[in-house]
Amino acid sequence: MNKSKLKKKIRSAAEFLFNPRLLLCLAAGWFITNGWSYVLLVLGTLLHNAIMIAVATGYLTFLWIPFTPEKIVTVAIAIFLLKLIFPSDTRTLGKLHALRDKIRKDFTSQKEKFFGRSTAN
């Protein structure tokens, strides 16, 4: 891969990832999955409430266990919120659809390579 192609791909990825609408939805998704527990832990500590501290610590302990699906759920919530709040953001949604189509195509080709000919008619 030449240098200009690499620069173009990096720029495209950066434009996608640092899109303010996507960042807002990722922040909201993160707060839904994680943020509330950090807020609860801080409030529980400030208010000396053992129940709040216990609930927050229990959930945060679960999050820090390896192989927790929290990141996948956060991104799924962010994509859902992006479609819900910004349905006219065709550029970001278009990139997401193109990525989904590429993943499906790659998965199908790997499946055919592994299992032989496709069973679909």
Residue 90 forms part of a structural domain? yes
Domain that holds residue 95: 16-115
Over the stretch 96-107, which tens digit does the pLDDT of each residue have? 888 888 889 988
Task: Give the number of other CB atoms < 10 A from CB of residue 22.
Answer: 21
Residue 88 forms part of a structural domain? yes
Residue 7 forms part of a structural domain? no
Q: Which pLDDT value is given to residue 120?
A: 56
Q: Which pLDDT value is given to residue 46?
A: 97
Over the stretch 15-61, which tens digit does the pLDDT of each residue have? 888 889 999 999 999 999 999 999 999 999 999 999 999 999 999 99
* Tally of domains in the chain: 1
Q: Which pLDDT value is given to residue 119?
A: 55
Give rounded-to-5 percent helix, strand, coil for the chain: 80, 0, 20
3-state secondary structure of 66: coil
Residue 5 forms part of a structural domain? no
Residue 107 forms part of a structural domain? yes
Q: Which pLDDT value is given to residue 53?
A: 97
Q: Which pLDDT value is given to residue 33?
A: 94
3-state secondary structure of 9: helix
Residue 121 forms part of a structural domain? no
